[in-house]
Amino acid sequence: MTATYRQPGVVLTDRHFTVPLDHDAPTGETIELYAREVVASDKAHQDLPWLVYLQGGPGFGANRFVGKGAWLGRALKEYRVLLLDQRGTGHSTPANRQTLPLRGGPAAQADYLTHFRADAIVRDCEAIRPEVTGGAPWTVLGQSFGGFCTVNYLSTAPEGLTAAVITGGLPSLDAHADDVYRAAFPRIERKVAAHYARYPQDVERARSIADHLLANDVVLPNGYRLTAEAFQSLGIVLGGSEGSHRLHYLLEDAFVRTPQGPALSDAFQEEVQGLLSYASHPLYALVHEAIYGQDARPTAWSAERVRAEFPQFDVAKTLAGDGPLLFTGETIHPWMFDCDPSLRPLRETAELLAARTDWTPLYDSARLAANEVPVAAAVYHDDMYVDTAHSLATARAVRGLRTWVTDEFEHDGVRAGGPRVLDRLLALTRDEA
């Protein structure tokens, strides 16, 4: 049922679509997609071009804005916006520990999840575009993984696009997951060093927490087993504009005195479980490394294997010395499927995905080299999540792509920078900047 409602300055309409699970089998099983149409109140009856937003992730539904937050206000000056919950996320047909058993056992679940990468998301966009726009092409805004999807869009269905805008999401066209993580760990180390330079008091705090976790079995209120390695993974927040400050405030309230001695505070545990749990976005953990699979090589828990090449991230070795504890970043590890109660039932499914050898290419280098769609991309100077060198190599490989390389923002620049980031990139696609 279609519902239309209002928020300050905007009119919103719920949109529902049915698409094939496998677009190569259009008469087979279907899934549901949800999207939220947004238009400025004073333009609600105007015939406007469309912009479709592809969220970062994988595994997150589209932003739930109130009014014209972040970049949305700029977009609404000239577009109707479609905030798409990519397949398996948000209000679209869910894929999680509760629903995946409907598929059958782990092997059937893993086969199902092979249909949740960028190529399927783009084919979803093309399937619903005629219904949304009447067949007219639209502009796509891809943030992070949404940018990966956008590069696939340019590779496979450029006729559906009038322009493409990418923020923090230019992927390598040919890197294996191992290449991605070998580039990632040194970036993560730089982000941690910058954090400790800002907050030197956090060096001892982080060591004390890790030491406590090595000596004690800590289970958070939601059932998450907080190990020292899990604590390290809180470093994922360091890639955002306010992440270092957030981590600092978290660490300073870690311990309380109890009759039994120092213990991790309830407040600390409550915030940590919210940061570490994948209950709201399990696809992020399940298919994260699969987004880099493009040939017969398995991903095979790439981040875990490559981490072993960087012994400075080893907790026990760090605590045996006097150096600072290194946090980790956007990496998925097999132990997460033991620690997180929302992932535990999916451990075997994840193992099967990690072992797959039938991944197909996601990008067409020849077609990108002949690209005719106006494209602009924000490349953040030392993005913790997406390697800058990989992004710039891809930028050179896409004909006509214009970059804005900046150290003014972190990976979430399109949110933190508000209308300014989108305004700059749209101007680049129009040769106005």
Helix (H) or strand (E) holding 402: strand 402-406
Q: Which residues contact 46 (CB under 8 A, 6 or more apart)?
A: none
Measured CA to CA, the distance from residue 208 to residue 206 in angstroms comes to 5
- 411 catalytic? Reply is yes
Measured CA to CA, the distance from residue 176 to residue 162 in angstroms comes to 30
The single residue of 85, 92, 124, 144 carrying the catalytic annotation is 144
Return the structure tokens found at 336: 């997460």
For residues 321, 235, 281, 168, the Cα torsion angle rounded to the nearest 10 degrees is: -140
- 42 catalytic? Reply is no
Residue spans of beta strands (DSSP E) within 55-160: 80-85, 138-143
Measured CA to CA, the distance from residue 174 to residue 166 in angstroms comes to 19
- 358 catalytic? Reply is yes
For 182-233, the DSSP string reads HHHHHHHHHHHHHHHHH-TTHHHHHHHHHHHHHHS-EE-TTS-EE-HHHHHG
Q: Which residues contact 32 (CB under 8 A, 6 or more apart)?
A: 16, 17, 18, 19, 92, 93
Respond yes or no on whether the N-terminal peptide bond of residue 58 is cis (omega within 30° of 0).
yes
Looking at the annotation, which residues are catalytic?
144, 358, 411
